[in-house]
Amino acid sequence: MISIVIPAYNEEEAVSYCVRHIISVLDAADVGPYEVLVVADGCTDATAANAASAGARVVTHLQNQGYGRSLKSGIEMAKYDTIVITDADGTYPTERIPELLELYRKGYDMVVAQRTGQYYKESWIKNPLRKSLRFLVEFISGKRIPDINSGLRIFSKKMAVTFFDRLCDGFSFTTSITLAYFMNAKTVAYLPVEYHKRIGKTKVRLFSDSLRTIQYVIQAVTYYDPLKIFLLLSLATLSVSAVCFLMTLALSLVSTFYIGVGGVIASILIFAMGLLADLLKQIMDK
């Protein structure tokens, strides 16, 4: 028994194709009872009507509330415990859902489609942002994470709702659920899939959404493991001090020496703040 949850904001061009394709895939795979639920997030076009005519159950937001809030609404309204989330723009190969389900049924807490292909790697702007964000999330979790924010994944409704207060209402929902599972010692499996070119225009605002994601990750690490973020800041400050000391030796500049000393002191203070934050978290956890 499966609920497919699809958030959609003005995706009238693609949503019919996505819904019909998913239905045909699930019927052919004989997965048992299922539903396709589209959350029309304050749409001003024919997204809701097109989704309904294609065979989906539609939940409507009167105003645009964001990608994450749409997913939460869909998960809350879902009939079944096994949740599959995907996008309404045709980018994910939903014909791979049966394979993801097979992997999920082996006992993993979450199974994620790891994006590959030219349409995932084509942007010279997105790649450095993805790598930086991935480094930060892997540093926080202590785990290797092949794809931190893939929008095609399977998990249990019962488990996911326990993390809702820590999951983003915006674009960073998938990053936040990835962190929540890893930081709570849940098992996560990845299956490589070919990422497709989207149908219609993107709704992602690259710069602002990336900043919000970084903001969330910093907030998340202060919640899950505050010592790590303070350690990272402490090491960064210490690195600046080291550069200043090298400049002092090479150029005989007195000013860089004092800046370096100040950096060492600041680094020690930041690390001490991290220890205090970690102690407070342990007390609160008890």
71-112 residue pLDDT tens: 999 999 999 999 999 999 999 999 999 999 999 999 999 999
| Spatial separation of the C-alpha atoms in residues 131 and 154, rounded to whole Å | 24
Are residues 63 and 9 in contact, defined by beta-carbon separation less than 8 angstroms? no
Rank 81-95, 122-136, 137-151 by mean pLDDT and report only the highest: 81-95
Encoded tokens for 241: 């001090």
Residue 200's contacts (CB-CB under 8 Å, 6 or more residues apart) are 11, 12, 13, 14, 89
Average pLDDT over residues 186-195: 96
Q: Read off the pTM.
A: 0.81
Name, in order, each residue with C-beta under 8 angstroms of 276's C-beta and a sequence gap of 6 or more. none
Nearest to 10 by CA among 181, 193, 200, 180: 200
Region 121-135: mean pLDDT is 70
> What's phi and psi for 196, nearest 5 deg?
-100, 165
pLDDT class for 256, splitting at 50, 70, 90?
A: confident
Residue whose pair of structure tokens reads 């960073």 in the numeric block: 172
Highest-scoring range by mean pLDDT, 123-132, 177-186, 269-278: 177-186
**Predicted local confidence at residue 205, as pLDDT:** 65
**pLDDT value at position 38?**
98
For 221-245, write each residue's pLDDT tens digit: 777 777 877 888 899 999 999 999 8
Report the number of secondary-structure helices (H) and strands (E) in the chain: 11, 7
The H or E element containing residue 40 is: strand 34-41
The closest of 274, 209, 212, 202 to 237, measured between CA atoms, is 274
Nearest Cα to Cα of residue 221 among 282, 143, 137: 137
Q: Are 20 and 30 in contact (CB under 8 A)?
A: no
Q: C-alpha distances in angstroms, 158 versus 76, 147, 166, 179, 256? A: 10, 23, 15, 17, 56
Contact (Cβ atoms closer than 8 angstroms) between residue 167 and residue 89: no
Answer yes or no: is pLDDT of 40 > 60.
yes
Q: Which helix (DSSP H) or strand (DSSP E) does residue 57 occupy?
A: strand 57-61
Could you count the other beta carbons within 10 Å of the beta carbon of residue 105? Answer: 11
pLDDT of residue 170: 86
What CATH number matches the domain at 2-224, 3.40.50.620, 3.40.50.880, 3.90.550.10, 3.40.50.1820? 3.90.550.10
- Extents of the domains making up the chain: 2-224, 226-285
In this prediction, residue 140 carries a pLDDT of 76
Reported as a pLDDT band with limits 50, 70 and 90, residue 70 is: very high
Instruction: Identify the CA nearest to 64 among candidates 40, 87, 88, 48.
Output: 40
Query: Three-state SS across 89-157?
Result: CCCCCHHHHHHHHHHHCCCCCEEEEEEECHHHHCCCCHHHHHHHHHHHHHHHHCCCCCCCCCCCEEEEH
Q: How high does pLDDT run on average in the chain?
A: 88
Nearest in space to 149 (alpha carbons), one of 209, 196, 104, 229 = 209
pLDDT of 173-189, one tens digit each?
998 999 899 988 899 99
Nearest to 154 by CA among 56, 75, 52: 75
